[in-house]
Amino acid sequence: MIAKTPKPPYYAVIFTSTRTDGDRGYSKMADYMLDLAQQQEGFLGIESAREDLGLTVSYWRDLESIKSWKENSEHLIAQEKGREEWYKNYKIRIAKVERDYEFE
């Protein structure tokens, strides 16, 4: 599903990853993190796809909102488990969206 975002500018956090084998609680935590992120001040939406390479883009009002999410205590626990159990590797990019357009 394509996120409905406001008129730019806003920010995108692009999380690209490769997973380890097996679930080991990943799906449950991912669902919980989505619910938690949606409650965060400044959260605008999310898009995600996974095959061999996972790609999740979350959209945020400003850099302060992104920083608050990164420092959320429950999110910190998920980040640690991700490094220990769920991801072979990942990369995070933060970009300012200056323009967007769509076709419906």
* pLDDT for residue 94: 98
* Both structure tokens of 94: 């933060």
Query: Within a domain: residue 104?
Result: no
* pLDDT for residue 48: 96
Query: Within a domain: residue 3?
Result: no
How many domains, in total, are found in the chain?
Answer: 1
Give dist(CA 98, CA 11) in Å, integer.
9
* Both structure tokens of 66: 């992104």
Query: Within a domain: residue 4?
Result: no
Given a cut of 50, the residues of the chain with pLDDT beneath it are none
* pLDDT for residue 92: 98
* pLDDT for residue 54: 95
* pLDDT for residue 12: 98
* pLDDT for residue 79: 96
Cβ-Cβ contacts under 8 Å for 46 (sequence gap 6 or more): 3, 34, 37, 56, 57, 58, 59
Query: Within a domain: residue 5?
Result: no
* pLDDT for residue 91: 98
Query: Within a domain: residue 33?
Result: yes
Q: Which residue range(s) make up the domain with 22?
A: 10-97
Angle at 42 between CA 39 and CA 93, to 5 degrees: 105
